[in-house]
Structure 1
């Protein structure tokens, strides 16, 4: 399953397909699977309780070698598990569709996502609605009730 050479397509920061929809305030990563906006997936993001925990997580990621995995704390008591599949190829498992799928990233794009766990990071104002849309779907009603 693990290889020294990977020819699998992976999400990169310089991709022509816009795969990253945004990162919400809880640091969840909203991605369009294979660049398809109709296939939106929400992956748990790294949640660091301190600067030291943040540094440890980044160092842990940078030290991964082929075949290793790294389990990191994520918001809402979730875990973010990163698998080093091949040189410059990392995977995050997603079972939101019922069957487990691995989303592949290069090191630069995945580290960029992990860096949003820094305590000073703030999400873009337009990404605030991402979290609200998840609440709306969960409750089956508008997140903000209309005034009478």
Structure 2
């Protein structure tokens, strides 16, 4: 079986191909790469502890200029948003041991980031995605040699 090659897939809210599989309770964005349901990644999303922190993060995102980046820090991982150009943002994710930039327009990424709102709740069907992520973590080595 040949590995898939992904070159910066781009996603919009009005895409014909359904690319957003869901958003789990821990705010991971589950994306079917290029609409391929057999190649799904869980990108760590924004988490905040207050409305003030959410507003600050959204303002920081909206103020990004081409060439600038913003890191969403989480307990176990980070996610970097790169402003590529006006209305084009890249989010890094690893697929088949290769780093890929997923491209989003501002409206789409803004909508994903808004799920960090403290009162937001995932859809009942997306709870299973959280379980899937937990099972993936159990399959990874806890300690690696360097």
Give the TM-score normalised by structure 2: 0.84
Q: Map of 1:55-70 to 2, 5 A cutoff?
A: 55-70=55-70
Unaligned segments of structure 2, at least 5 residues: 1-7, 140-146
TM-score by length of 1: 0.83
Distance in 2 (CA, whole Å) between partners of 1:33 and 1:95 is 11
Give the structure 2 partner of residue 87 of structure 1. 86
Give yes or no for contact 1:48–1:73 (8 Å, CA) kept in 2: no
Question: How many angstroms apart in 1 are the aligned matches of 2:86 and 2:69?
Answer: 13
Give the structure with the higher percent strand.
2
The ranges of structure 1 where at least 4 consecutive aligned residues each deviate by more than 2 angstroms after the TM superposition are: 134-140
Whole-Å Cα distance in 2 between the matches of residues 134 and 113 of structure 1? 18
Q: CA deviation at 1:82?
A: 0.5
User: Within 5 A, what are the aligned runs for 1:1-148?
Assistant: 10-74=10-74, 76-139=75-138
| Equivalences, count | 132
Q: Distance in 1 between matches of 2:25 and 2:111?
A: 16
